[in-house]
Each structure stands twice: as structure tokens, then as C-alpha cells.
Amino acid sequence: MIQKTVTVNSEHGLHARPAALIVKAATKFRSEFYIERDGVKVNGKSIMGVMMLAAENGAVLTLIAQGVDAEYLIEEVSSLIEGGFRL
């Protein structure tokens, strides 16, 4: 299992579009993927789950992945979040 802590870096937080981008990136991988915030853990491949986090700009999230390609998943998703969703 791989964990990484990231800080949200986008002005309006994780609203629908950024959430969709995270899910889109994560579903490319086979590993299981969760995002945790203040004790709330959601499935990172579920768009409703990710949006329900209501993560604002500067919120600290823990990315948790488990599986064969967990490393790559974490790398891609964290660079997406920290890079402010500029692809």
C-alpha cells in the first residue's frame, strides 16, 4: 500500500470538473484507490465520492493506493492535484 499527502492547489477546490479529472486519471490504473480527508475516506474512482469531500483550496488530502500499479497511480494523481489540474 502506498500513501501520499497532497495539498489541493486550485482556486475553487475540488468541484465537479477537477473531481472528474481525478477519477478519469485514477480509473486508468488497476489499483484500488482511496482519498482521505479529516478521517473521511472515499473511493477515488467514484466521482460522487470525490466531490463529497468538498475539498477547498489548501485542503490536505491523503491519497491511498493498493495494487500492482499503485505507485504510478499516486504519481499521476498527486501531480494532477498539486499542479492545479493543468495537464
Kindly tell me the sign of the dihedral angle through the C-alpha atoms of 22, 69, 74, 66: positive
Q: How far is the CB of 65 from another protein (least distance, A)?
A: 19
Q: Of residues 15, 17, 24, 30, which has the active-site annotation?
A: 15
Annotation marks residue 12 as catalytic: no
Provide the binding-site residues for another protein, judged by CB under 8 A: 12-17, 19-20, 23-24, 28, 47, 51, 54-59
Q: How far is the CB of 21 from another protein (least distance, A)?
A: 10
Which residues fall within 8 angstroms of residue 38, CB to CB, at 6 or more apart?
A: none
Contact status, residue 9 vs residue 82, Cβ threshold 8 Å: yes
Q: Which residues are catalytic?
A: 15
